[in-house]
Amino acid sequence: MLRNLANFTIDQVKDESLAKYRGRVGEIAESEGKEPFDAMIDIAVADDLQTYFMPPTMGTDDETGGCEASSDTTTARSSALRTREPAST
């Protein structure tokens, strides 16, 4: 989990003077010369722990790159209907 902190996103900050930090933690950390964990903690403390961090969504990091779920439920339903056995009479 800690190795993926760079893929987290700072979504909301309470203190608008910290709005410049909205974005990917990895990019923020790199620009500040910090590790992602340290950047997250520093921003959260400066924001009185009111910062909203969002985890990476499925398929946007290296570990889940090929695991995106299909949002096409129509195809799944149609396939399921075609494979049903007809009711016996």
For residue 31, pLDDT over 60 is answered with: yes
Please give the average per-residue pLDDT across 7-29, as a whole number.
95
12 bridge partner residues:
52
Neighbours of 36 (CB within 10 A): 21
Per-residue pLDDT of 36-85, as tens digits, reads 999 999 999 999 999 999 998 866 545 544 444 444 444 344 444 444 55
Angle at 29 between CA 63 and CA 60, to 5 degrees: 25
For residue 10, pLDDT over 90 is answered with: yes
SS3 per-residue string spanning 3-71: HHHHHCEEEECCCHHHHHHCEEHHHHHHHHCCCHHHHHHHHHHHCCCCCEEECCCCCCCCCCCCCCCCC
